[in-house]
Amino acid sequence: MAEQLKTSNSTTLSDFIWKIADVLWGDFQHTDFARVMLPLLLLRRLECVLEPTREVVTAECLKEQDSGIDLPAILPHISGYSFYNTSKHTLASLGATDTRKNLEDYISQFSDNVSVIFKEFDFANTLIRLDRAKLLSRLVSDFAAIDLHPDVVSERVLSNAYEHLIRKFGISVNDKAGEFMTPSDVVRLVTKLVIHNDADIFTKKARNIYDPACGIAGFLSDAIKQIKELNPQANIVPFGQELNPETHAMAMIAMMIQGCETNNIKQGSTLSSDQLQGNKFHYGLANPPFGFPWEKDQKAVLQERKELGELGRFGAGLPRINDGSMLFLQTLVAKMETPEKGGGRVGIVLSGSPLFNGGAGSGESEIRRWLLEHDTIEAIFSLPNDMFFNTGIGTYIWILNNHKAPERQGKVQLINLSNTWTAMRKSEGSKRRYLSDEQIKNIVQDYDRFSESELCKIFNSTEFGYRRITIERPYRFMFDGDEQSIQQLQDNKSFQSWDDDLQTEVLTVLNNMARACREQHSQIINRDTFRLAFAELVAAKKLKETHWKVIEKCVRKPSETADSCTDKHGKPEADADLRDTKNVPLSQNINDYFQREVLPHVPDAWIDDSKCDELDGKIGIVGYEINFNRYFYQYTPAACLA
């Protein structure tokens, strides 16, 4: 057996395991390294944790196995943990000949909450592949040489090493590490902002944390670490859900390494199969995937919205199908602890799209509207670019709170961190910048200060809202006999489908009018006059409204001097080609705005009063957007030419 490695340094540990993985080259794809090494890492950790009580547990199991006693109920109390193993084997005693058979037996003797992790990794098939490649005995021996007892390797060191390995396994094959790894500096900042000023974390009162897209449980793990630093006796209960089975297995490993229960870490789609339905949480933390399409969840999401409305998660609105991040946002908000019980706080990392995508009345805008009108958004932070492992796009932290402090009620704080960063000595993927501990401390202080500065702006919630009013102008008709417009009618597919005789009769009338216009150097500027020339066809009921639309579309020319057209009720007809919309801030009266901003330029315009908001019934569709760049725009003059 190799000399046993003892280390309390996470980098040394991860480098050692990374070096062990070199033996897999050739027999395994690099993308498979994580599913080989991480279960073995967990196995060795659990073995070291259970070592002090291993013999007592196995003895009790032998003693009571035929007694009818519920062993899964009593063995955790003997092991001292929520898990146990009743096998006689250890990694060091598996042997070199029947290694696979013995290891399979060893793993099968774990409690169910551990066995499920190896199943989700499909570790049984991995063992077959390792055995065929004649690598299994060597790897088992290498891991048996690592002392991972908690007295030697603390939860923090092992967790850091684990996260470092995940990142290396992902980045080394460009495997979109950023999809399941949130950089630790971002996690620290979000967590500090969320747990900020919560006096209950300094007591033994239970506080629960939830991540609906938990990935490998990075947010949950780091939040627990930070709270434990503030109060080692804090009672923190993590909850989460993850779609991908292997990633879910990694999350369960992370929780076990932290010494936490894994029963509350669920596997499946949070959007279509919420396995924590009805739960409320003190803290919510998430970095849902950017641009995540939710077609597979659409049926279930629509059904929940139809059946539950605002009592469900998605009552505010539904985003476009190619980005489901705002569905995770709504899930977090719906699961906040109620204000009557102290309220809940949420920190979520999002791309820029949820701030402004979608105009008034769209799903995205309606979600923003609900959040702002319910006074749920407390602060939004813009992060620097190049902060994540696999994307350089702009990202933002949203802090939400359903139990705001009095001075924050009705307010939203925006903090611009785009120029607050420290350069990394060595980039990891696309991550070239990070936030230092000192910078994080200063950011939290600026947030807590709640006063305006160059980097911090404070707005009333209503300042992000507007009414989109529709501006109409009259439909005016002019015919000047232009031959090109008549040819355009002849080329029209709808016209060509008419009866041949009708085509001929219409063209005859048009050509006669065109000839008269050219000879008299005149124009027809009244639609009724134009239609009067077709009186015989109208009398014969050969022309219908559908025919008129095709004729006018092709031969009519807009003209400011032509007469306005009216409908059968005498009301002006609107010209769809001249239709416009204006976004009027909610703080302004739309009629005052119209008089001031529109009529001086287009005196014949009017507001379409039929376009009303579905919720308040007033003219204009309400919309909300948070245009970060507008609030922090700084003019940069062009360089002077020599």
Task: Give the 3-state secondary structure of 472-523.
Answer: ECECECEECCCHHHHHHHHCCHHHHCCCHHHHHHHHHHHHHHHHHHHHHCCC
Q: Which of 461, 180, 181, 187 is nearest to 348 (CA)?
A: 187
Within 160-234, strands assigned E span 206-211
Q: Which of 280, 294, 373, 361 is nearest to 327 (CA)?
A: 294
Distance between CA atoms of residues 155 and 617, nearest Å: 57
User: Token pair of 42, please?
Assistant: 């967990």
H-run or E-run covering 432: strand 431-434
pLDDT digits (tens, 9 = 90+) for 120-141: 889 999 999 999 999 999 999 9
In whole angstroms, what separates CA 270 from the centre of its chain?
12
Given CA atoms 339, 344, 347, 352 in this order, what sign does their dihedral have? Answer: negative
Provide CATH code, domain 176-468: 3.40.50.150
Is residue 586 within 8 Å of 469, Cβ to Cβ? no
pLDDT at position 121: 87
Query: How is 61-78 classified by DSSP, letter by letter?
Result: HHHHTTTT--HHHHHHHH
pLDDT at position 400: 98
Per DSSP, the three-state class of 581 is strand
Report helix angle 112-120 to 33-50, nearest 10.
Answer: 160
Q: Which of 251, 234, 21 is nearest to 113 (CA)?
A: 251
H-run or E-run covering 183: none
Residue numbers of the chain with a pLDDT score lower than 70: 1-10, 156, 167, 170-181, 390, 428-429, 634-642
- Domain limits of the chain? 10-164, 176-468
Report the b/e string of 305-343 with b at 16+ CB within 10 A: beeeeeebbbbbbbbeeebbbbbbbbbbbbbbbeeeeeb
Instruction: Enumerate residues 6+ apart whose C-beta is below 8 A from 532.
Output: none
Is residue 270 within 8 Å of 247, Cβ to Cβ? no
Is residue 94 within 8 Å of 105, Cβ to Cβ? no
Neighbours of 128 (CB within 10 A): 13
pTM for this entry: 0.85
Distance between CA atoms of residues 346 and 286, nearest Å: 8
pLDDT at position 446: 95
Backbone angles phi, psi at 165, to 5 degrees: -65, -45
